């Protein structure tokens, strides 16, 4: 399999730079007139695939909202990942796993080893046990042509307590970004290790030129808009992958409405960052 960074660039060039999060929380299921159980979850997930998997570059299912329904929910997640990839969307599994040693290897085997039924194109991880604790995930992803998105500067207001704390050479987030940059040295057209950097941050003092993709949640319903994308990412527009969920999903359950919302959002992003 070609490296994730190469595949992501090809996907965004052809479909536009947008990631749509698939976050089937209880209120959204109810808003679609669905039951908050595995049956409702499956209808929701497969509707999203039908509407969006052939339209957008990246889909990002949030693992927690599937896990909350137990084994049947995880089975729906497996089907969603497989069906979305078959239709050409790249799938980033939003799991934000973080651990050490054999446990981290277990997560890697589950999410980026392409022999796993849960294998995605990329996975989100948490580096705050130390960046090198991610090594099993990074190495396994590299071996399978998959990607890793490392949490750096998140869209939630509590994140500053850790991410903006001072490390030995700057902010903790800055040191995480430095480590990602090393992983991506020499990669063309960009590396396969990305960073999660919120699209609704009040400021961005860290250098996010990491030669890898910048997954930017918080665009849309969480307050991040076109002006924020320009303000935060004007120096690295070629790396930017804004992520939105409710802005698109609340237009469902109609297939036509979901597609139209995704296309509108892609148009806004393209007009903003070129």
115's tokens:
């022999």
DSSP labels, 26-85: HHHHHHTT--SSHHHHHHHHHHHHHHHTTT-SEEEEBHHHHHTTHHHHHHHHHHHHHHHH
| Architecture label for domain 4-273 | Alpha-Beta Barrel (3.20)
Q: Does the predicted model carry a pTM greater than 0.75?
A: yes
| Residues identified as active-site | 96
Predicted pLDDT of residue 156? 87
* 3-state SS, residue 130: coil
Predicted pLDDT of residue 96? 98
* Domain residue ranges in the chain: 4-273
45's tokens:
């997930």
Point out which residues pair with 90 in neighbouring strands. 58
> What are the pLDDT digits (tens) for 122-155?
999 999 999 999 999 999 999 999 999 999 999 8
Cis preceding-peptide flag for 253 (omega within 30 of 0): yes
With beta carbons less than 8 A apart as the criterion, state whether 153 and 163 touch. yes
Predicted pLDDT of residue 1? 85
Instruction: Give the span between the Cα atoms of 116 and 77, in whole angstroms.
Output: 13
Which residue, chain included where needed, has tokens 């889909």? 59
Q: Which residues of 157-192 are buried (b: 16+ CB within 10 A; e: fewer)?
A: eebeeebeeeeeeebbbbbbbbbbbebbeeeeebbb
Instruction: Give the span between the Cα atoms of 255 and 110, in whole angstroms.
Output: 31
96's tokens:
């934000």
Residues (pLDDT < 70) of the chain are: none
């Amino acid at each position: 399999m070609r490296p994730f960074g190469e595949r992501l660039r090809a996907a965004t060039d052809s479909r536009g730079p947008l990631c749509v999060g698939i976050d089937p929380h209880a209120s959204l299921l109810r808003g679609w007139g669905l039951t908050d159980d595995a049956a409702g979850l499956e209808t929701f997930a497969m509707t999203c695939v039908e509407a969006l998997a052939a339209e957008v570059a990246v889909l990002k299912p949030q693992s927690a909202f599937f896990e909350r329904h137990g084994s049947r929910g995880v089975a729906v997640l497996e089907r969603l990942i497989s069906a979305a990839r078959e239709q050409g969307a790249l799938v980033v599994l939003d799991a934000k796993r973080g651990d050490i040693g054999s446990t981290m290897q277990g997560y890697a085997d589950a999410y980026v080893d392409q022999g796993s039924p849960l294998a995605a194109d990329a996975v989100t991880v948490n580096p705050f046990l130390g960046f090198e604790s991610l090594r099993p995930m990074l190495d396994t992803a590299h071996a399978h042509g998959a990607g890793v998105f490392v949490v750096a500067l998140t869209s939630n207001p509590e994140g500053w307590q850790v991410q903006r704390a001072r490390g030995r050479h700057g902010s903790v987030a800055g040191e995480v970004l430095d480590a990602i940059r090393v992983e991506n040295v020499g990669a063309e057209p960009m590396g396969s290790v990305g960073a999660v950097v919120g699209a609704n941050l009040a400021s961005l003092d860290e250098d996010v030129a990491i030669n890898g993709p910048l997954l930017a949640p918080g665009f849309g319903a969480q307050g991040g808009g076109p002006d924020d994308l320009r303000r935060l990412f004007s120096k690295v527009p070629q790396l930017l992958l804004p992520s939105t969920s409710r802005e698109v999903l609340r237009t469902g359950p109609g297939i036509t409405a979901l597609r139209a919302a995704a296309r509108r959002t892609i148009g806004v992003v393209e007009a903003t960052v070129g």
